[in-house]
A = this chain, B = another copy of it.
Amino acid sequence: MIFYCTKDALVVGVNTVFRAVSSKSTLPILQGILLKTEADRLILTATDLEISIQCQVPVQTIEEGSVVIPSRIFSEIVRKLPDTSIHIELKDQQLYITYYSSNIVLKTLEQEEFPLLPNLEAAQAFSIPVSLFQNMIKQTVFACSSEEKRQVFTGLFMQIENQTLTMVGTDTHRMAYKTTELPEAENSTFSGIIPGKTLTEIYRLLRDDDETVDIQYTESQVSFQFGAIHFLSRLIAGQFPNYKQVIPNTCETKIHMPVAAFTEAVERASLISRDSALGANIICLKLVESTLFLEQNSDVGRISEQLEVEAEGKEITISINSKYLLDVLKVIDEQMVFELSGPNQAGIIRPLNDPNYVYLVLPIRAS
């Protein structure tokens, strides 16, 4: 393997695949990045067996070949290379990186041990515009659980049916639900649970100038193709809870208010509640006529925030974990409706400008 390339091409390639490098695997080969030249491109691949990321960058190939290189040192080195033509050559199982009159020689890993990636060529497929997909991920992925013990909740339920794409995330305390119409996906049906990590990493890698994401899927794998990147992920096995059933159709109280003002009030109230006897982050919301009070007291002091709102229906007092509110308030804009049905029933948050998004949050039960 011999090729010339720029520093920038290597940096883009390594940064893209680096997140798939296993951070804690006992298999040393998973610490490596597979480099492979094909015509005038270098294909970089990394995998932790759960996700695999592949990225192509332009190079000038002199002799085709491939090698697996330790990712950490290679990543650090490419970031520090000078902005000049870099010559890379594999000789005697060592990688020679040459620039100006200087050179670096790196030991390589056993290429035979690098896992083969599953082939999804025969899979079904549909496409989604990048901006739409980014927004869907942003509005749902934060609601996933990060606790490994109940695997289905660490993933996002994704379904395509009747030209509608649905994504749902929940950690059992709150749930984010988003749909979008995909008129061109008329022949696609899919449902599966995609690891939250997969979608977080894809969100990070998506660029506005990538126009669409092509999604392919089988029973156990899903792949995302966009720009020069091919992202492969296993699906999580298991049954996702019946999310439609938990969304109430009616409510006793409706509160219309601006997202920004509510966010600031919740942020301040949550500062006081951090040392609260009630538990971390729990704040008390109280609707009296058209005033919403956010209250909390703790060892350090007490707070009473007042917001003038548009309210319909019954007055109510309810305790909620402020973290679950702040998470959703970051991903919606302008005006919102907060629907409540009593102190022990789930609250529903809907952005006024988006009928396709619903967020459900469970209260702290009144004792």
Contact = CB atoms under 8 A, between A and B. Distances in A.
A104 interface: yes
A80 B268 contact: yes
Interface string A256-284: 00000000110110011001000000000
Number of copies: 2
A106 B275 CA distance: 13
A292 to B, nearest CB: 11
Contacts of A81: 268
Contacts of A214: none
Nearest to A73: B300
A80 B77 CA distance: 41
A103 interface: yes
B301 A106 contact: yes
Nearest to A107: B301
A303 B104 contact: yes
B73 A271 contact: yes
Using C-beta atoms within 8 Å of the partner chain, give the interface range for chain A: 20 to 34
Nearest to A300: B73
A77 B268 contact: yes
A103 B269 CA distance: 10
A65 B70 CA distance: 64
Given A80-B264, A264-B80, A264-B82, A302 B104 contact: yes
Given A80-B267, A81-B268, 19 more contacts: A77-B271, A80-B264, A80-B271, A94-B301, A95-B301, A100-B306, A101-B306, A102-B265, A102-B303, A102-B304, A102-B305, A102-B306, A103-B303, A104-B268, A104-B272, A104-B302, A105-B303, A107-B299, A107-B300
A211 interface: no
A184 interface: no
A186 interface: no
Interface string A77-104: 1001110000000000011000011111
Nearest to A291: B101
B300 A106 contact: yes
Contacts of A64: none
Interface string A301-323: 11111100000000000000000
Nearest to A294: B102
Contacts of A73: 271-272, 275, 300-301
Interface in A216-268: 264-265, 267-268
A63 interface: no
A303 B302 CA distance: 61
A76 interface: yes
Contacts of A106: 300-301
Contacts of A104: 268, 272, 301-304
A243 to B, nearest CB: 34
A76 B104 CA distance: 48
Contact of A302 (B105, B265, B301): B105
Nearest to A305: B102
A264 B264 CA distance: 46
6 contacts: A73-B271, A95-B301, A102-B265, A104-B272, A105-B301, A107-B301
A94 B81 CA distance: 59
Contacts of A303: 102-105
A130 to B, nearest CB: 34
A81 to B, nearest CB: 8
Interface string A41-74: 0000000000000000000000000000010010
